[in-house]
Amino acid sequence: MGFKHMVNSNFFDTWSAKMAYVLGYFYADGSLENAPAMRGKYVRFASADKELLMQVAHVLKSTHTIHDRKNGNYLLRIGDKKLYASLEQIGLYPRKSLSIHVPDIPREFCSHFIRGYFDGDGCVYIEKNRSGNYKRLSTIFTSGSPAFLEGVEMILRQHAATSRRPKLAITTNKVSTAYQLRYSTRDSIKLYFFMYSANVNSLLLLNRKYNVFNSYLKQRGITKDSYLNIVDTKGPIQHR
């Protein structure tokens, strides 16, 4: 079942761009918990950013307590069978991280879904040279599911005009294997204007990630009006 089934479910009658963000964020930092012993079904969000969880709770009209987990993270645990069932309808289930796929997302909500996922399992950083000057901007999406990242890459190539499909990088440790979709400077600039294309004050977003993009663009003098000319050039991007 695809995303459109979710839109038509009872829980998502109040569909919005913010709901798309929350869904993307759930794919990154959310989980389903079926607890038959307690006759409960729970939707969980974990984050180091309590303010973001407060916004998620507001969008979902939840009054559940956000718990401090004493490890630097916070947990929002929502007991809501209707919400749980709505997420099951698009193929989500407990311990989903290794087998998720991108749902069927209407074009107008793609940027919000991607931004939500990015705020959960993405990162952006600025590489500097030995003199401390900005050298390049990099953006990374991480997932335990290569199929999910392939779906993300397809959305970004179609709607953000990123370059031809990059290879997925693999990172491993003793516990798990993760895959990464990596973008260099020009594609990162395209991603910025894709993810934050609407009025920023009306968006759900993580300010610390948004500010990294802004710092690079400000240092290079890149604006919404000039970036298309810049990303079509080759070689180092100079301050304008």
Number of domains in the chain: 2
Residue-level pLDDT at 21: 95
Are residues 128 and 60 both part of a single domain?
A: no
Residue-level pLDDT at 208: 94
User: Residue 164 phi/psi, 5° resolution?
Assistant: -55, 150
Residue-level pLDDT at 82: 86
Q: Which helix (H) or strand (E) holds 68?
A: strand 66-68
Nearest-angstrom CA–CA distance, 27 and 222? 31
At residue 226 the predicted structure's pLDDT band, cuts being 50, 70 and 90, is confident
The CATH number of residue 223's host domain is 3.10.28.10
At 73-90, the pLDDT tens digits run: 999 999 988 888 888 887
Please compute the mean of the pLDDT values over residues 26-40 and round it to a whole number.
Answer: 81
Query: pTM here?
Result: 0.88
Are residues 91 and 119 both part of a single domain?
A: no
At 12-31, the pLDDT tens digits run: 455 688 999 999 999 999 99
Position 3 pLDDT exceeds 70? no
Number of Cβ atoms within 10 Å of the Cβ of 13:
8
Domain region containing 54: 3-97
Are residues 152 and 47 both part of a single domain?
A: no
At 169-188, the pLDDT tens digits run: 888 776 778 899 999 999 99
Residue-level pLDDT at 16: 80
Residue-level pLDDT at 97: 62
Answer yes or no: are the C-beta atoms of 160 and 190 closer than 8 Å: yes
Domain assignment of residue 237, yes or no: no
Nearest-angstrom CA–CA distance, 203 and 201? 6
At residue 4 the predicted structure's pLDDT band, cuts being 50, 70 and 90, is very low
Position 239 pLDDT exceeds 50? yes
Using the 3D structure, point to which of 97, 126, 145 is the last residue of a domain. 97
